[in-house]
Amino acid sequence: MADRNCLVTNDWICGEYLRSRSHELTEATLQHIWITAVSVLIGLAVAFPLALLARRGRHFAGPVLGLTTVLYTVPSLAMFSLLLPLFGLSAALVVTGLVLYSLTILVRNILAGLQAVPQEAREAARGMGYGPVRLLWEVELPLALPALMAGLRIATVSTVALTTVGSLVGKGGLGNLIEDALPSLFKAQVLTASVLCVLLAVAADLLLLGAQRLLTPWTRIRRPAAASAGAGIAKTEAG
**In the predicted structure, residue 228 carries a pLDDT above the cut 50:** no
pLDDT tens, residue by residue, 109-134:
999 888 888 888 888 888 888 788 88
Instruction: Provide the 10 A C-beta neighbour count for residue 123.
Output: 10
Compute the distance between CA of residue 131 and CA of residue 134 in angstroms, rounded to an integer: 5
Average pLDDT over residues 215-233: 55
pLDDT tens, residue by residue, 186-195:
778 888 888 9
What pLDDT, on a 0 to 100 scale, did the predictor assign at position 230?
42
Average pLDDT over residues 16-30: 84
What pLDDT, on a 0 to 100 scale, did the predictor assign at position 12?
77
**In the predicted structure, residue 106 carries a pLDDT above the cut 70:** yes
Instruction: Return the ∠ at Cα 42 (arms to 41 and 47), rounded to 5°.
Output: 100
**In the predicted structure, residue 43 carries a pLDDT above the cut 90:** yes
Do 113 and 146 form a contact (C-beta atoms < 8 A)? Answer: yes
Compute the distance between CA of residue 203 and CA of residue 209 in angstroms, rounded to an integer: 10
pLDDT band at 236 (very low <50, low <70, confident <90, very high): very low
Average pLDDT over residues 180-207: 87
**In the predicted structure, residue 223 carries a pLDDT above the cut 70:** no
**In the predicted structure, residue 47 carries a pLDDT above the cut 70:** yes
N residues, the chain: 239
Average pLDDT over residues 163-171: 82
114 membership: H or E segment, kind and range: helix 91-115
* Neighbouring C-alpha atoms within 13 Å toward the C-beta of 125: 19
pLDDT tens, residue by residue, 60-103:
888 888 888 888 888 888 888 888 888 887 888 999 999 999 99
Compute the distance between CA of residue 69 and CA of residue 219 in angstroms, rounded to an integer: 30
The pLDDT mean for the chain works out to: 82
Compute the distance between CA of residue 37 and CA of residue 102 in angstroms, rounded to an integer: 12
